[in-house]
Structure 1
Amino acid sequence: MLDLPTLSNNGITLKPLTLSYANDLAEACQDGELWKINETSVPEPDKVIDYINTAESMPDRKAFVVIDESTGKAIGSTSFHDILPFAKRLEIGYTWYAQSYWRTHVNTTCKLMLLTYIFETLEYQTVGWRADIGNRRSQEAIERLGAKKDGVIRGNRVCRDGVISDTAMYSLVNSEWPQVKAELTKKLNENY
């Protein structure tokens, strides 16, 4: 299975998620009361330790903590999951940031670092994303990255409220990466 690197760019660092970041993440998820969003995987503040332990115990998930270098604090998390080494495919998900970081350079920076690592270091062929069909904000964020919508899987997930929901699936393939990398780099240089 993959060993996670430490990645750093544009004032953001990604490191392997450990329990040492539990207090920061408990604070981050309260910024916007993110655990109340039905379609997300953000933990309740008092369940952050369980969230980290679950991430560490999943055999096909490798989780990062997202750190704002200006404060040294963890502001969210993201993961590689559904890792298929033989197919050279994985998904990026379980992504969340404190609400005050939404629509800033953070998501674009994180995805640029992760995609560069996946395509240029690991030499994987495909990266996937998924979002609840009702979570339009997440779908739009994935689309802004340059991913293509593959379709919808019907009835494959249960939301926090117990409702069974559909999942929108997206992907990016290696041949699309150079153009996407150029666009993400340009976006960061122009907007942030």
Structure 2
Amino acid sequence: MSTDRPGILDQPVLTHPLVTLEPLARAHAADLVAAAAEGDLWQRAWYTSVPEPDPAVVEAEIDRRMGLLASGSMVPWAIVVGGRAVGMTTYMHIDAATPRLEIGSTWMAVSQQGTGVNAAMKLLMLERAFDELGCVAVEFRTHLHNRQSRDAIERLGAKQDGVLRSHLLHKGTLRDTVVYSILALEWPAVRLGLEARLAARRGAGTA
């Protein structure tokens, strides 16, 4: 990786007309408590990890992610819409030598789902990963039964690599994890697809 490229563990502010990704901080806690509580997301989304909408729990999750940043294994952002934090996302499973990474540990308030925010956020994160960091691949992982997440990943143009069976203990049960990836050579087509979806949203109201 050339010396003029930004560090893979840098945590810049990423901006799009629909969403801003800000370095995750304790200052986002109150907004994130409200986002997790919206529609009882933290209880309904059994297939993923949304923190309980309790200030102490949310602050502990922020601290955990910031600790992983300090150890070099995660880059966490707050998803900010209209000046309010509505969720979290990260780069994780970072391999700086290759380089490659996973976009994951993402959750977002119910009110922001289906608004185009997810597509805009993924565009920002993929642009940074491929265009600035020079990643050879970006990975996505999700619960086998998280059909909403799988559909969203597949709409990006990611290809399924396989299923890791009995991969993780998640909320008391063994989780089968579906692994997807986008390769650098696939990124131009994926970018065009995301840009077209966002352009269509401006005209029709969905992405």
Q: TM-score range by the shorter chain?
A: over 0.9
- Maintained 8 Å contact 1:12/1:109: yes
- Please report how far the alpha carbon of residue 61 of structure 1 lies from its aligned counterpart in structure 2 after TM superposition: 1.0
- Maintained 8 Å contact 2:9/2:74: no
- Maintained 8 Å contact 1:38/1:159: no
The answer for the alignment partner of 1:113 in structure 2 is 124
- Please report how far the alpha carbon of residue 84 of structure 1 lies from its aligned counterpart in structure 2 after TM superposition: 0.1
- Residues 79-126 of structure 1: CA deviation (Å, up to 9, x unaligned): 000000112110000111100111111000000000001100111111
Q: Percent identity?
A: 39
What are the residue-to-residue correspondences of 1:58-137 with 2, within 5 Å?
58=68, 59=71, 60-68=73-81, 70=82, 72-137=83-148
Match of 1:164 among 141, 156, 174: 174
Q: Distance in 2 between matches of 1:7 and 1:86?
A: 23
Q: Distance in 1 between matches of 2:41 and 2:165?
A: 25
Q: Distance in 2 between matches of 1:106 and 1:53?
A: 25
- Residues 14-63 of structure 1: CA deviation (Å, up to 9, x unaligned): 01101000000000111121211211111001110011011111231110
More moved, 126-135 vs 28-37: 28-37
The answer for the alignment partner of 2:21 in structure 1 is 14
Q: Distance in 2 between matches of 1:109 and 1:24?
A: 20
More moved, 21-30 vs 36-45: 36-45
Q: Distance in 2 between matches of 1:153 and 1:8?
A: 34
The TM-score with structure 1 as length reference comes to 0.96
The answer for the alignment partner of 1:143 in structure 2 is 154
- Please report how far the alpha carbon of residue 11 of structure 1 lies from its aligned counterpart in structure 2 after TM superposition: 2.8
Q: Distance in 1 between matches of 2:180 and 2:76?
A: 20
Given the alignment of the two structures, is residue 55 of structure 1 paired with residue 68 of structure 2, yes or no? no
- Aligned residue type for 1:106: V
Q: Distance in 1 between matches of 2:16 and 2:33?
A: 24
- Maintained 8 Å contact 1:147/1:172: yes
Tell me the secondary structure at the aligned position of residue 79 of structure 2.
strand
The TM-score with structure 2 as length reference comes to 0.89
- Maintained 8 Å contact 2:141/2:178: yes
Consecutive unaligned residues of structure 2, counting only runs of 5 or more, are 1-7, 203-207
Consecutive unaligned residues of structure 1, counting only runs of 5 or more, are none
Task: Please tell me the root mean square deviation across aligned C-alpha atoms, in Å.
Answer: 1.0
Q: Aligned pairs, how many?
A: 189
